A and B are shown apart, each in its own frame.
Chain A
Amino acid sequence: QQQVKQSPQSLIVQKGGISIINCAYENTAFDYFPWYQQFPGKGPALLIAIRPDVSEKKEGRFTISFNKSAKQFSLHIMDSQPGDSATYFCAAISTSGTYKYIFGTGTRLKVLA
């Protein structure tokens, strides 16, 4: 059962463009919503994360937008660069009760030079 739905599965963006990846969740008990970035041949690494009491978080060119009522959150990559080409995973974490760390299915981003 996939509790975090991620879209699109793949994305191609021109250099300098905006990349947008969306995730939706079902369980309202999640405490954190991180995004991980994975380059080929490597393990995922934390990119940026947000708590549900915040609607937006920005770190450099990366922004998370969070809509608690819609149970959706998204990653925006501004001024996308070829070096951003990677697979991105959203995740949702529940630390109370049964521990859960649920990843989305991933989005393969390619930024064209």
Chain B
Amino acid sequence: DADVTQTPRNRITKTGKRIMLECSQTKGHDRMYWYRQDPGLGLRLIYYSFDVKDINKGEISDGYSVSRQAQAKFSLSLESAIPNQTALYFCATSDTGTLYNEQFFGPGTRLTVL
């Protein structure tokens, strides 16, 4: 878990505020991902990046944006937070060509939007 770090771990904010969640990794992986986890809905992919110049929308990208500042850093922004974005957010990484495309997850950020 220490190889993929997320900050902050917990955040409470108000509707309309801009929020940035940060992810850093020391695994040397090219690929990074952002997911949100909601009870009963599992994990859903928000955005993914296969290298520094590559950004792709996932299943539920509306209301979110991302920035890949470096190979090791991938941040997720909520430009104007709304209550239904309250969730547990995970960053993950994977290495190109890894068997089964194994993903390594960070510890998560619990975000509450009031």
**Which chain A residues numbered 1 to 58 have a C-beta less than 8 Å away from chain B?**
6, 9, 32, 34, 41-46, 49
Quick one: which of B42, B99, B105, B107 contacts A104, CB cutoff 8 A? B42
Q: Is A93 a contact of B101 with CB atoms below 8 Å?
A: yes
* Interface 9-residue window, one of B11-19, B43-51, B62-70, B74-82: B43-51
Quick one: which of B35, B42, B108 contacts A105, CB cutoff 8 A? B42
Query: Is B103 among interface residues, defined by CB-CB distance under 8 A?
Result: yes
Q: Is B42 a contact of A6 with CB atoms below 8 Å?
A: yes
With the chains together, A75 CA to B105 CA distance in Å? 21
Task: Give the nearest-CB partner of B35 in chain A.
Answer: A103
Q: Is B103 a contact of A103 with CB atoms below 8 Å?
A: no
Quick one: which of B40, B45, B90, B108 contacts A101, CB cutoff 8 A? B45
Chain B interface size range: 20 to 34
Q: Nearest chain B CB to A93's CB is how many angstroms away?
A: 5
Q: Is A105 a contact of B41 with CB atoms below 8 Å?
A: yes
Q: Is B42 a contact of A101 with CB atoms below 8 Å?
A: no
> Total contacts A to B, CB within 8 angstroms?
57
Q: Nearest chain A CB to B95's CB is how many angstroms away?
A: 12
With the chains together, A105 CA to B99 CA distance in Å? 23
> Per-residue CB proximity of B1-42 to A under 8 Å, as 1/0?
100100000000000000000000000000001010000111
Q: A6-B42, A43-B1, A103-B44 are in contact. List 17 more A-B contacts (CB 8 A).
A: A9-B40, A34-B101, A34-B102, A41-B107, A42-B107, A43-B90, A43-B105, A43-B108, A45-B104, A46-B102, A101-B45, A101-B48, A101-B101, A103-B35, A103-B42, A103-B43, A105-B41
Binding site for A on B (CB under 8 A): 1, 4, 33, 35, 40-45, 48, 56, 59, 90, 92, 99-108
Binding site for B on A (CB under 8 A): 6, 9, 32, 34, 41-46, 49, 89, 93, 95, 99, 101-106
